[in-house]
Structure 1
Amino acid sequence: MKNPTILQFFHWYYPEGGKLWPEATERAQHLADIGVTAVWLPPACKGASGGYSVGYDTYDLFDLGEFDQKGTRATKYGDKEALLQAVSTLREKGVQVLMDVVFNHKIGADEKERVSVRPVDPDNRNNISCEVIEGLAYTRFTFDAREGKYSKFIWDFKCFSGVDYLEDPDMHGVFKIVNDYGDDGWNDEVDDELGNFDYLMGANIEIRNLAVQEELKYWGRWLLENVPCDGFRLDAVKHIPAWFFKDWLEHVREEASQDLLVIAEYWSPDLEKLQQYIDRVEGKLMLFDVPLHFNFHTASNQGAEYDLTKIFAGTLTAVDPLHSVTIVANHDTQPLQALEAPVEHWFKPLAYALILLREQGVPCVFYPDLFGASYEDEGGDGGMYQIDMPIVAGLETLIKAREHFAHGAQTDYFDDANCIAFVRAGIEGAPGCVVVLSNGAENAKTVALGEGFEHKKFRDYLGNREDIPQADEHGNVTLPVKEGSVSVWILEDVL
C-alpha cells in the first residue's frame, strides 16, 4: 500500500476562466506516477462572486457549475461537466478526491428581509446588546435559476444566526438575529476567540435550526451521489459547533459505500484547542497541524538561531499523529492572504522532508510549491504587490522518495540545534533512507545502521551532494549536508 500523500490542487489566486478542472484531468496520471494518493479540490459550488469566486463566499451548494447564477454558468474552475471529468479521471488513475465543504455562512442572497437584530460587541461576541433594531438583511436565498432542481429548500432569516450588514438603517458590524433559535446567544462548542467565534462573516448559518441540519445532511448525500468522491475537507470548523459535524459525518458515512477521509480546518496554533475538538467529534476526522506550520514559519525566519530539535514541539503530530495532517503552506497562509504566515523559500525543502519522509502524520503538499504561482494583489497597507512563488526545488523528488523510501521504523538523531537527522529502516521489499537537515552551516551526522550495512555506499537521492559516503565495518556512516539544506541518503545500488 502506498504512503498517503495529499495535494491541495489550487491556491487563492489560481486564474479564473475554467482552467482548474481540465488541469486536474490533464495532470491525473502524472500525480499518480509521482506518488500523490489524494487531491483536495477547492469548493465546487457557486459563490457569490460568480466566475471570480475562490469558493468560500458560498451561495448555492447545489450549483456545481450547472446553472446561470451570479452572472455565470461555470464557476471559476469550470462547469459541472469538467468537474465530473476531473473527478472521474483522478479516481481512474488511483488518486482519491476530497471535496471542500463550506457550511459556516452564505453570501449573495437573492432577496432582503426585514429582520430584528441585536448589536454585538465585535471584540467580545458574548456581549449582546438588549437593544433590538429592525432593518433589511440579505438573508433570503431562493435560487430562482435552479427552479427547485435537486432541492426546493428556501433559506430565510430563520436559517441564520447573525449578519454583518443592515440596510434601512445602513449599519455595519456584528448583529445577532432575533428568531426562534438561540436568541439568548451563539452556538456552543465553537472557538472561544473573541468570546465566542460562532460568527465569522456574511449570513451565519444557524445550525440549531433542525430544518437546516436536515438540508445539510441531504446535501451531503446528494454530493456523494452526484460527485463520487472519497472524502471531504471541512472549512472553518472552529466557527461551527463540533456536535453538528460529529452527527453530519455519522450520517454521510452511513450513506457512503466506502470509508471517507475527512480533514477539518481548525485554524489555531493552540494544541489544546485542537485536541479538545478531536475529543468533541470523537476522533471522527483529522485536523491540519497548525502549530507545526507555525513552527516551520518561525524556523524559516530565524535561520540558524532556531533549535531544530524543537521543530515538533507543541504540535499535533507529536501528540496525536493519527489525527494529524501536516502542511507547509495553504491558500490562507500564502502571501497577501488574511492568515499570511509564509515559510521562507529556503526552508521549504527541509519542511517538506520533515512531513513527507517521517512516520507521523499525513502530508498535504501545496499546489504552488509543486507547480509554481505568480499573482498580484493589494496588501494590507493599500499598496500593490507582485508575488512569485517558485517551484520548491526537489519537491517532486521528495514526493517520490516518500513512496519509495519512507518505510520502516524511525530513529531520530535530534541531538544538534542546527543539524538533525532521522533514519527510516525500511521493510522487506521496500528500502529505507537517512534524512539529514541543516539550518546553518555545512554539517554532517553519523548514524549507526548496524548489521547488513557494513561497508555499504550511499548517495543523495535529491542530488544536493555528490559525495558517496561509505559505512565502516560496524555499519556506522557519516552523512554530510550542505548549508541550509537537506539530503536524503539511500544505498548507492538502490533504484
Structure 2
Amino acid sequence: MSDSLRKRALRLFLPFLMFPVSLPGEAMLQYFNTSWAEITGRMPELAEAGYTSLWLPPPTKGSGGLSVGYDLWDPFDLGGKEQRGTFSTRYGTEVELHRMIETAHRFGIRVYFDNIMNHRAFDVPGFNDFAPHDLYPGMRPEDFHIRRTDDGYYRKWDNVREWWSEWQVQNLGLADLIDIATEPGTTNRNFGAWEGATTDKIKFLRHPNNPDYYCYDANGTYVGFGSGNGLTSNYLQQNEDYYSEYVEDYLNRAVRWLLDRTKADGLRLDAVKHITPDFFGATFGEDRDRSNYGYLGQAQEQFNLTRGYSDWNNHRDTVFDTELPRDDAMMFGEHLGAPPAVGDYLNAGMRLLDNDLRHHLNSQLGNPWGTLAGMDAPGSHGFAPGSSVMHAQSHDSEYAARRELQHALYLTRGGIGIIYSDGNHKAGILKGSGGAFPRHANTNFLGQWGDVRIPNLLYFHEHFARGYQVGRWSDSDVVIYERVDKRDAPGMSDGAGTVGLIMMNDNYSSGQARGFTTGFPAVGGTDDDAYLYNYSSYGGGFYKYASQLNQVVIPAGGYFLFSLRSPEASDLWERIGGHPLTILQDGNATGTVSVRRTDGPDGDPGFNPYGVPDANLTDFSYEWEIPRVTSGSNLTFVVRADGSAENVLLKLDGGMDVNGNGQRDHAPATSTDVYNGYEQMTFVGRQGPEKFAARDTARNQIGSAGAETYSWNASDGSLATTNG
C-alpha cells in the first residue's frame, strides 16, 4: 500500500486541510451501468480517491425496466410509478435515487444527471387505433416532428440523412427516436403530410391531475413543487388559460421539477446540436447572463429557488469559472460537431464536451507521424478551459489512443476532466448501437489490478491542478506546462504562484529530456531554488531542484508531476501507531467497524487497492476498518500533521458547524471549493523532537544551525541562550 493511497484513505468521513492550502479542482467520474444502491455503497471509496462530481445516467423512466434511459418516456417519473411494465428504472427506485444523492452530498460530491429534451422513445402517438394521442404523459402528436398520413395516423420522419444540413439535424430523427418540436415559438417546423410542412403548435393543460408538478399559483407567485404547494386539480382547471403550455414551456417545467426534486447539482445535456441554441437560453445581449429565458435560464432560476441562493445577476459565471464560489447549476452539453456551430450553445450558458480535443489526441497520440506541438497552451486543439469538459471515453465510445496520457492531460490541464467507468458491469450488445451500450470502460477508476495511475492523478489534480495554465514546452513527443494560482495575492511573483509542473512523453521507445524554463524559483546553489517532489506513479517519489529540471528524463510513454511537498501526516506519530485523525467520544478514542468493499462482477477478482490483509484473493472484495461513532454528542476531533502545516481545517459530511460557533465558516455559494464546508479547528500546539542533557555536561550539544536555542539549568535556575 503506497503512502499516498494510505493518507488519502483517511478522508473517509472527515476530510481535513493542512495549509499551505491547495484548491481541489473538479474531477468528474462518469459512472454508468450501475445501480443507485451500489453507487451509494461506493461513495466513501469515490471520495477517498478524489472524485468531486459524478455524471450519472438519466434518472427518468425510459421505455422499459431495462432502458439505459435515453429513450425517455416520462420526465416526471424517477422510478416511483408503475408504468411501461415497471416501477423502478434500470438503476432502482426513486427512494434509492434520493438516498444516493444525499450520500454523495454528505461526502462533498456533486451529482450531474444526463438529461434528455430533444426526443422521446421509439413509439409514435396516434400510430394506429391502439396508440393513443396522449401516449407520452403530458404530450400530444403536435408536440413532435412527425408525418401525418392520409388516413389521420402518424409516422416518424426519417433519421438525419445529410449531416451537413442544419435543417435536417434539427428537424429529423436521431437513432429512430421520436423528435420533439423544441424550436421556440408557435410554429412546428416539420409536421404534416410532407417533409418541411409546418403547423401551429398546440397549447393545453398538460398535467391536470398533478398539481404537485407545478410551482406557481395563477398570480405568478412561487409556491414550490410538491404536494404541499397548496395547488389542487380543481384550481388548475379553473385557471386553465394560465396553466396551458406550449411544448417548450412543458420541457422547461420538467427540468425545473427535476432539479428541485432530486437536488442535483447540474446536468449533462444530451444531443444539443439537434436543438436550436435559443431553446436553451439567451445567446446575445448585455442581460443574457442574468436572463431566466429558455431551458437553462429556467433551470438556473429553479436552482436558486431550491437552494436559497441569491445570485440573480448572473446565472452562468460559475458554470464557466469553477474557481469562483459555485452558485449555479453546472451545465454541459454533447455537441458532436457542426453544423450547427458550437458558438451559440456556449453563448446560451453551457460548457461542451470537448470532442474536438479528443479526436485530435486520438489522431496524434501513439502515431509515429503525430505531434504534441502546441499542446502546452491552454485550450489547444479544443475549447477554452472555461468551456471545456474533457473525456477520453464515454458511454458512446470506448476507444482512446494512449488512454493513460489522455487521462493525465485531462486531469492536469485547464478545464474539467472526466474518467469514465461502467462500474465493471459490462453491458450486452444493444441492437442498432454498434456494440455494447453503454460501452465497456475497462478503466481502473479505483486502482483495480494494482494500477494506481488514476488515483495518483486524482491526488495531484486535487492539490495542484488549479489556477491558470502556462505552456513551457511542446514538440512531437513532449509537452510541458505549469499551473499558476495567484488568487490569494495577485501581485505575487510567478515563482510564488506556480503550483504544479506537468511533463509528458508520448515516445514509448525512450525517455526524453528537454531544456525549458520553469516558473518555479530555479537559482541553483541558493535558497531560491525550489525543491520539488515527483507525485507521479512513474519513477516513484523523488526530489529534484527546479534548477535541475532540464536533466530530468521523462519516462517512455509516461509523465512526471512535480510540485512542492504538501503538509502531510506526521511520520513520527505514524511510526508509533498514531493516525492523522483521531475521533474521541466522551474523551475516549472510538472503536472501529469493518466494511466490505466489492468491485463490479466484471472487475478485479483480487480488488484490494490498499493492500490490506485479505484471506480471499478472488472474491472481488476486501475489508476496510472505519471509525464507529455511536452518538453525535460530546465528540472531539484531533488532527496531527507534520511541521510544515500552517493551519488545519476540518469538514464533517458535506459541511456543518463542527466547531460550535453557531454558523458555517465556509458556506456553499460563498466559498470556493477549497474552503466549501470546512471549519476552523482550535490550535493546540506544536511539538518538536525532545532534547535530553548528556550525563557528562561536557558532551552536551545544545543548539542547531540557524535556530535560537534556550537552556535552563535545573541546579541554579539560570537560563542561557545559544544564538542561531
Among 460, 472, 483, the alignment partner of 1:413 is 472
Q: Is 1:253 the counterpart of 2:253 in the alignment?
A: no
What is the percentage of aligned positions where both structures have the same residue?
24
* Structure 1 residues 453 and 326: alpha-carbon distance in aligned structure 2, compared to 1, 3 A threshold: farther
Q: In structure 2, do the counterparts of structure 1 residues 172 and 166 end up closer, same or farther at CA, with 3 Å as the change threshold? A: farther
- Residues 270-291 of structure 1 deviation map (CA, whole Å, 9 limit, x = unaligned): 5982224323x2xx11111110
Decide which structure has the larger Cα Rg and report it.
2
Q: CA deviation at 1:492?
A: 6.0
| Counterpart-to-counterpart distance in 2, 1:76 and 1:398 | 32
- SS at the partner of 2:264? coil
Q: Which residue of 2 aligns with 1:27?
A: 42
Aligned pair in 2 of structure 1 residues 319, 402: CA closer, same or farther (>3 Å)? same
User: Match of 1:486?
Assistant: 559
User: 1:40-90 CA deviation, whole Å, 9 max, x = no partner?
Assistant: 111011111x12111001111111111122221111111110001011111
CA RMSD of aligned residues (A): 3.8
CA contact (8 A) 1:9 1:41 kept: yes
**Partner of residue 353, structure 1:** 408
* 1:209-358 → structure 2 map (5 Å cutoff): 209=201, 211-246=246-281, 247-257=294-304, 258=309, 259-268=328-337, 270=338, 273-279=341-347, 281=348, 284-300=349-365, 302-311=366-375, 320-334=384-398, 342-344=399-401, 347-358=402-413
How many angstroms does 1:108 deviate by?
5.2
Separation (CA, whole Å) in 2 of partners of 1:381 and 1:202: 13
Taking the aligned partners of 1:310 and 1:165, their CA distance within structure 2 comes to: 55
CA distance in 1, matches of 2:555, 2:111: 37
* Match status 1:93 vs 2:102: no
| Alpha-carbon separation, structure 2, partners of 1:164 and 1:28 | 49
CA drift of 1:442 comes to 1.6
CA distance in 2, matches of 1:170, 1:243: 28
**1:268-327 deviation per Cα after TM superposition (whole angstroms, max 9, x unaligned):** 2x5982224323x2xx11111110111122124x43421011448996875532122111
- 1:13-52 to 2 correspondence within 5 Å? 14=33, 19-48=34-63, 50-52=64-66
Instruction: Supply the distance in 1 between the matched residues of 2:120 and 2:442 (Cα, whole angstroms).
Output: 31
Q: CA deviation at 1:453?
A: 6.7
Specify whether residues 305 and 194 from structure 1 end up closer, same or farther in structure 2 by C-alpha distance, changes over 3 A only. Answer: farther
CA contact (8 A) 2:113 2:266 kept: yes
Deviates more, 1:289-298 or 1:195-204: 195-204
Aligned position for 2:70: 56
Secondary structure at 1:308 match in 2: coil
TM-score of the two chains, using structure 2 as the length reference: 0.53
- Cα deviation code 1:118-177 (max 9, x no counterpart): xxxxxxxxxxxxxxxxxx79673446xxxxxxxxx632211111269999999886299x
- Map 1:318-467 onto structure 2 (within 5 A): 320-334=384-398, 342-344=399-401, 347-358=402-413, 360-368=414-422, 372=424, 374-377=426-429, 389-391=442-444, 393=451, 394-425=453-484, 432-440=499-507, 441-449=510-518, 451=521, 454=524, 457-466=531-540
Shift, 1:487, TM fit: 2.1
State the shift of 1:397 in Å: 1.3
Aligned residues: 426
How far the C-alpha of 1:213 sits from its partner, in A, is 1.6
Once residues 216 and 379 of structure 1 are traced to their aligned partners in structure 2, the CA distance between those partners, rounded to angstroms, is 29
- The SS at the match of 2:456 is helix
* Cα shift readout 1:416-471 (whole Å, capped 9, x = no counterpart): 21111112356679982321111113212344345367465544322211484633
1:103 aligns with 2:117: yes
The residue number in structure 2 matching 1:150 is none
2:478 & 2:463 partners in 1: Cα distance?
24
Change beyond 3 A, Cα 1:251–1:348? same
Q: 1 or 2, which has the higher helix percentage?
A: 1
| Equivalence for 1:3 | 25
Where in structure 2 are there 5+ consecutive unaligned residues?
A: 1-22, 184-200, 202-244, 282-293, 310-327, 446-450, 489-495, 569-724
Q: Report the 3-state secondary structure (helix = DSSP H, G, I; strand = E; otherwise coil) of the residue aligned with 1:395.
A: helix
Alignment partners' CA distance in 2, 1:98 and 1:476: 40
